[in-house]
Each structure stands twice: as structure tokens, then as C-alpha cells.
Amino acid sequence: MNIKKTPYKILIGFIALILISLISFIIYFYLMLNYEERLTERLTDDVIVINDLLSSMYLVRVDSTYLAIDTGFFDSFLERGLEYNNILPDEIKYIFLTHSDADHVNNIKLFKSAKVFFPKEEKEMLDNKRQRFTFLPFYSNEIDLANYNLIQEGDSVMLGNRKIKFISLPGHTKGSMGFIVDDKYLFSGDAFRLKNGKISVPFRKYFVTSENKMLETIHKVSKLDSIKYIFTAHSGFTADFQFAISK
């Protein structure tokens, strides 16, 4: 029975991959026609978002440089977004990765001189000890990087005038992590989504390692103090934290 099911699952995975690629290809060229008006925006005085077809990369000003939260997937979108905002790749000195999925780490190769921070609990994904998606049997999480700094909850760093705290937000993946900047900005990656301005569980079946862990993460976030903004990887941002966590 299992022998018969395995080729079927692989076939379904390939068909899904082809359909996603085709749709992405069409949308890609549509969006590139008016990229600046659609996919990059200054959200606050010191936070810029650069979007691609799959996820968002956030840039936070640090003195005369920038820190980045994730790096997105499509390099052409990222490069055009940086150019539009008059930011050189070398000006991004620090990169914080929320987890190891390709739509968050693929463009790491563009930032050769950046110092990279990566969740310690997520490292087993890089070591190929666990398969991320059963319906994509040949998919594995990798980072094109020789050196990175492993971080865990409770750690924090000072970068110029910025304080960044690390908070574990498991559920989407075991090692998913969020970053709190200056006690007011929460960058949450794929820990949850924003729907009608409120945080909720995304991707219930296929893209969540543990839904129970994700629900615990949402409860944990609701207890945070002083947060004003939430920035997600796939569902935008909100400047009303209290409304986002309200029931």
C-alpha cells in the first residue's frame, strides 16, 4: 500500500510545483511592470518593506546602515526594491532570519558582508534531519552561507542605537523565531498571519509543523508588553497591536 502511494504523492507534488511555478511566472511579469507602486513601501520613518511574490523582507535603519529581517526569494524583486530605495547591498550589515524556508533565506547570497543571525532550534533543518514538506519530497531547507551566528530566546544584541531581542515563536517550524526591535516592533515571520487586523493561524494543514505550538505562540505574543507594530512575512503589518491581539 505504501509503495503505491509514494509515486502518487510525488506526482501530486510535481503537479503542484508546476502549477505554482506557472502562476508565479505570470504574476511576476505583471507585477514587474509597476513594481515600485505595488511592492515596496516605507511603513514607518525607519522601516521599509520589499515584497516579492512569496514573502516580505523588512529593512530597519541602524545609524547609517540597515538590518534586514529575512531576505525573500526572487532576487530581481529584491535588487529592484533596493535600487528604488537607494540602498546598496553592502549597506545591509545585519540579517536576522526567522526560519530556514527558501522564501525567507534564498537571497542571503546577495549580502556577502552582512552578519547573519539564525535560530539555534532551526539548525536541524539545515542539517537535513527533517523533511520540511511531505508533498514536495525533493525539497530541503538550505542556506547558501558558510558562517552564521546561532541565537536563542532570551538573547539580545545592541546594533548602534537599536536593541534587538529574540523570541521563540514555534509552530510554523520548530525553530521559528521573532525579533523585537526597540521594544515596539515585532517581526514575526510565519509565526501567524494577520487577518482583518487580528493575528490568527495560517496554513492549517500543509505549512504548519505543529498547530498546537502555533496556538501557544499566538497566546505568548498576546502577553507581550510595549509592542506597537507587528510585521508579518506574508500578510502585511499592523500599527495597532492591541487590536491585533484582542478577541
pLDDT at position 123: 79
Rounded Cα distance, 228 and 186, in Å: 8
pLDDT at position 1: 46
pLDDT at position 61: 97
pLDDT at position 19: 83
Q: Residue 119 is placed in which grid cell? A: 535560530
Instruction: Please report, in tens digits, the pLDDT of each residue of the chain (247 residues total).
Output: 454 556 766 777 778 778 877 877 766 666 555 555 668 999 999 999 999 878 999 999 999 999 999 999 888 889 989 999 999 999 999 999 998 888 888 899 899 889 999 998 887 766 655 555 544 444 455 666 667 889 999 999 999 999 999 999 998 888 899 999 999 999 999 999 999 999 988 655 567 778 889 999 999 999 999 999 999 999 999 999 999 999 8
pLDDT at position 122: 84
Flag whether the pTM goes above 0.85.
Answer: no
Rounded Cα distance, 198 and 192, in Å: 10
pLDDT at position 141: 57
pLDDT at position 98: 94
pLDDT at position 173: 86
User: Over the Cα atoms of the chain, what is R_g?
Assistant: 18
Phi-psi region of 63 (alpha: psi -120 to 50; beta: other; left: phi over 0): left
Domains of the chain: 8-245 (3.60.15.10)
pLDDT at position 137: 45
pLDDT at position 203: 54
178 Cβ partners below 8 Å, 6+ apart? 98, 166, 167, 168, 169, 186, 187, 188, 189, 191, 221
Half-sphere exposure of 9 (CA within 13 A, CB side): 12
